[in-house]
Chain A
Amino acid sequence: MTFAGTGAGLALDFPSPPMGSAIDEVVTEEAGVRPPRGASLHVTPLVSEGEVVAKGAALACLRHAPDICFAAPIAGRVARLDLLPGRKLSEIVLFRENEDAVEHHDTSRAGTAAGVRHLMQVAGFWPRIRRRPFGGMPSQSEQPSAIIVMAIDTRPFAPDPRRAIKGQAEVFDRGLAALAELTDGPVHVICAEDDPVRIAPGLGGGRVRVARCGRRHPQGSAGIRIHDLCPAALDTPVWDLGAEDVAALGALVESGELPMTRLVNIAGAALREARIVRTHPGADLRQLTQRYVERGPHVLMSGSPLDGHMAHWLAPRHRQITVLPREAVPDKPHWLIAALTRASRANPVIPTAALDQALAAAMPAIPFIRALSASDDETAMKLGVLSLLEEDLALADYVLSQSGQLTADLRGMLDRIETEYAA
């Protein structure tokens, strides 16, 4: 906690070659559709292997909510349809083919709340929404108490969402109006302090508002902003979306076609050249980085260096790719060194100013982290754990050098709360 509370957060400096300003348009030869990370979803496949599908066509729907579909990010042939036991979705791989085919949806009912909701679900937009508490996509009929639209992204190497929606002010406003249909609460558009963002006045009955935050991470983290503006709780879920997805929603409502483009930054220490590409969800990371990687072993991550994970395809909500040199596996340490440094349980967190800043001074950081480490669900819920997800604590994890301990604790706690309270 700082005295004044302004300027909270940390300025991070990860090594990466300089980023060019040109945007390349890339549609990868292969694309993979996967469920949001950590979710296990029972699905009914709507296509079979070998079938040719249009861009935006439904590939599979949820078994218990058949309206909610997963859409093809590119037009092509279904190469592989991997289901886990119990028909849980593992991955659907498409080969690019027949590029001009685009799926068109009926927009005649898009004026009503139920119509917009149905259109978003059948067009495959639903997985782009994330709900809190607990994360994952919302259930079919869930009504959020507020919606957060992130027009700022403060993670290291993150693309500027304002650049992604440049020149799309009208469809962005249309998307915001459509979102306002889905909730009785406010729709907050989060942007930087110095951002001259303009929203059409009176949009969504005046419930669409602009909120501002600083440019230091994690101030532009959705969880921190939700904690600040409209805390999520068991009976008051809050949704969050990226600004680019809101513009896509506007285009879907207007034209019946869901745009699949996405502005993605590729950066990291193992690159010869960092780049910005306009590609699509599920893009093949190897094709996007192939000609730009330094020699030697490297790891490809979907997401930022803080909260990314090794992947083959661009994850459903990620807008950046990080390429890092692969660290050599260290030799096994001497038993005495191991005894001196490794304990039966993880070392405790020592309160420092760095920890306060890593949570953007948004909450009493030390009581919160102590409650998290001690699995004290009730205190953590009072302090706002239900608004947070793994990505919001990724910076604290990094700063405290806990290598995933805090985020694992958070996930364990959220899962426990979900089974105990939400049952």
Chain B
Amino acid sequence: MTRGLWNRETVALMLIAAYLPLALFWLWSGGADAVARLGLAALVIGVWHLVFMLARAQAPSLAALVSALAIAMLAPEELGVLRMVLGISFGVVMGELVFGGWGRNVVNPATIALSFLGFGFPAFDWPVFDPQVAWAAIPAIVIGVATGVMPGALFAGAILTGLVAYAGGVLGGPVILMAGIVLVLLVADPVTSAATTLGRWIHGALYTALVALFASGWAGAAPVQIAVAAALLASLAAPLLDEAALAIWLAKRRRRHGRT
């Protein structure tokens, strides 16, 4: 029988293609250290996928590479191998694999791993990126939205709110750059972001609003820390936003048809 294109692994490949410019710029500016971090993250996630394939007959996914990239880029620096392995294992197993693998998870595994590492080991410094790495997030957004694997409405909501916050003087330069990278890597995940158009607009706006709130009120926090915390809270709110958007849609239909 004839078959189309958009199965789970095609979407994972498209996401990898979208992240490629960002990853290359980061590896280029980070050098051997960055390569080692990415390799470690990919290895640990790969082992856990293998374990769940053998134990639970759960097909592994190429989306593991996306999580690996996000964790390697955003995790606090000089943590050491043991802490990295611990954090990545917690995030990937508890955030994704126990739910049935990529596509059935409710929170992005990279967000979980980063929160675990960042808040569990607060003594270590969060990474800082060159501006050109942050600029490479723009082609990622363009590729992701053009191929339809990233939610366009979410970016629209986030960027509009960001512009308002910038104009109001709440958001500054470095925080905006970090927030952009985290927006692409963690918030725009197609699986765990909001699933309705209205929900996506609000999800994006909520993320930027949280970033602005933390940036103005959280003394001593690193830009990446602010963005990751905002991403975690926004993604926990995503199901609620969807529920609200569905309720509005249903109410509209009920008014129009007298039934749903």
Residues facing A in B97-151 (CB within 8 A) are 100-104, 147-149, 151
Q: Are A367 and B2 in contact (CB under 8 A)?
A: no
Identify 13 residue pairs between A and B in the complex whose beta-carbon atoms are under 8 Å apart, listed by A's number: A1-B196, A1-B197, A233-B259, A341-B59, A342-B59, A343-B57, A347-B9, A348-B101, A350-B8, A350-B103, A383-B246, A398-B2, A400-B7
Known: A3-B153, A342-B59. A347 touches B148 (CB 8 A): no
Task: State the Cβ distance, A29 to closest chain B Cβ, in Å.
Answer: 29
Cross-chain contact A343 with B59 (CB below 8 angstroms): yes
- The answer to whether the Cβ of B4 comes within 8 Å of any Cβ in the partner chain is yes
**B255 contacts partner chain A, Cβ-Cβ < 8 Å:** no
Question: Judging by beta carbons under 8 Å apart, are B249 and A348 in contact?
Answer: no
- Contact partner of A353 among B5, B12, B148, B246, CB < 8 A? B148
Residue B60 CB within 8 A of the other chain: yes
Mark B39-65 against chain A: 1 for CB-CB distance below 8 A, else 0: 000000000000001001111100000
Q: Which of B169-215 contact A (CB under 8 A)?
A: 190-191, 195-197
CA distance A233 to B245 in the complex (A): 22
Are the CB atoms of B196 and A340 closer together than 8 Å? no
Q: Please give me the residue from chain A that is nearest to B60 by CB atom.
A: A340
The docked-state distance in angstroms from the alpha carbon of A230 to that of B60 is: 43
Chain A, range 361-399, C-beta contacts under 8 Å to B: 364, 366-367, 370, 381-384, 398-399
Chain B's interface size range is 35 or more
A119 to B166, CA, bound (A): 72
**A367 touches which one: B12, B56, B196 (CB < 8 A)?**
B196
Q: How many residues of A contact B (CB 8 A)?
A: 40
Query: Mask for B68-112, Cβ within 8 A of A = 1, else 0?
Result: 000000000000000000000000000000001111100000000
Annotate A284-325 by CB proximity to B: 1 below 8 A, 0 otherwise.
Answer: 000000000000000000000110000000000000000010
Are A340 and B59 in contact, CB atoms less than 8 angstroms apart? yes
Q: How far is the CB of B92 from chain A (nearest CB, A)?
A: 17
Residues of chain B within 8 A (CB-CB) of A367 are 195-196, 242, 246
Q: Which of A67-75, A108-116, A123-131, A401-409 contacts its partner?
A: A401-409
Task: Assess the A344–B260 pair: CB atoms within 8 A.
Answer: no
With contacts A352-B148, A367-B196, A382-B250 known, is A347 near B103, CB below 8 A?
yes
Say yes or no: A401-B259 contact (C-beta < 8 A), given A339-B53, A350-B103. Answer: no
**Residue contact A14 to B2, C-beta cutoff 8 Å:** yes
Closest-by-CB residue of A relative to B103 is A348
Give the residue of B6, B56, B253 whose beta carbon is less than 8 angstroms from that of A354.
Answer: B6
B1 to chain A: which residues have CB within 8 Å?
403-404
- In the assembled complex, the CB of B245 is this many whole angstroms from the nearest CB of chain A, namely 7
B2 and A305 within 8 A (CB): yes
Are B190 and A350 in contact, with the CB atoms below 8 A?
A: yes
| Neighbour of B6 across the interface among A339, A340, A352, CB < 8 A | A352
Please determine whether B103 and A354 come into contact, CB atoms closer than 8 angstroms. no
Q: Is A351 an interface residue (CB 8 A)?
A: yes
Which secondary structure characterizes the binding site on chain A?
loop
The 9 closest A-B pairs by CB, nearest first: A353-B148, A348-B103, A366-B195, A343-B59, A344-B57, A401-B7, A1-B197, A399-B4, A350-B11
Q: How many angstroms from the CA of A364 to the CA of B149 in the assembled complex?
A: 16
- Measured CB to CB, the nearest residue on chain B to A236 is B259
A26 interface contact, C-beta 8 A: no
In the complex formed, the residue of A with least CB distance to B104 is: A348
Q: CB of A231 within 8 A of chain B?
A: yes
Q: A14-B2, A352-B149, A367-B196 are in contact. List 11 more A-B contacts (CB 8 A).
A: A233-B260, A339-B59, A340-B60, A341-B59, A348-B102, A348-B103, A350-B12, A350-B149, A352-B148, A381-B260, A382-B260
Contact A231 B260 (CB under 8 A): yes
Question: Which residue on B lies nearest to A353, using beta carbons?
Answer: B148
Instruction: Out of A348, A354, A364, name the residue touching B8 (CB < 8 Å).
Output: A348
Any chain B CB within 8 A of the CB of A47?
no
Q: Name the B residues within 8 Å of A399 (CB-CB).
A: 4-6
Contact (Cβ within 8 A) B195 A351:
yes
Tell me if A11 is interfacial: C-beta within 8 Å of chain B: no
A400 to B103, CA, bound (A): 13
Smallest beta-carbon distance B251→chain A, Å: 11
A416 to B186, CA, bound (A): 38
B149 and A347 within 8 A (CB): no
User: B191 touches which one: A351, A383, A404 (CB < 8 A)?
Assistant: A351
Count chain B CB atoms within 10 A of each CB in A231, A352, A355 and give the residue with the most. Answer: A352
Does A46 lie at the interface of the complex (its beta carbon under 8 Å from any beta carbon of B)?
no
Q: Cβ of B3: which chain A residues have Cβ within 8 Å of it?
A: 398, 401, 403
Q: Would you give the shortest CB distance from A73 to chain B, in whole angstroms?
A: 28
Alpha-carbon separation in the docked complex, A3 to B3 (Å)? 28
Q: B260 and A384: CB pair below 8 A?
A: yes
* Given A1-B197, A398-B3: A364 touches B245 (CB 8 Å cut-off): yes
Considering the complex, give the chain B residue whose CB is closest to the CB of A12: B4
The answer to whether A344 and B58 touch across the interface, beta carbons within 8 angstroms, is yes
- Alpha-carbon distance between A199 and B233 when the two chains are bound, in angstroms: 56
Pairwise interchain contact A347-B8, C-beta atoms closer than 8 A: yes
In the complex, what residue of chain A is closest to B260 when comparing beta carbons? A382
Contact, CB under 8 Å: B59 / A364: no
Residues of chain A with a CB closer than 8 A to B60's CB: 340
Closest to A229 in B: B257
Contact yes or no, A400 B53, CB < 8 A? no
Give chain A nearest CB distance to B192 CB in angstroms.
Answer: 10
Please pick, from B6, B9, B257, the residue contacting A230 in the complex, using a CB distance under 8 A: B257
- A349: Cβ under 8 A from any B Cβ: yes
Residues in B with CB closer than 8 Å to A350 are 6, 8, 11-12, 102-103, 149, 190-191
The reply to whether B195 and A347 contact each other, CB–CB distance below 8 Å, is no
Q: A344 CA to B52 CA in the complex, in Å?
A: 12
A401: which of B5, B53, B58 is its contact (CB, 8 Å)? B5
Q: Closest residue to A364 on the B side, CB-wise? A: B196
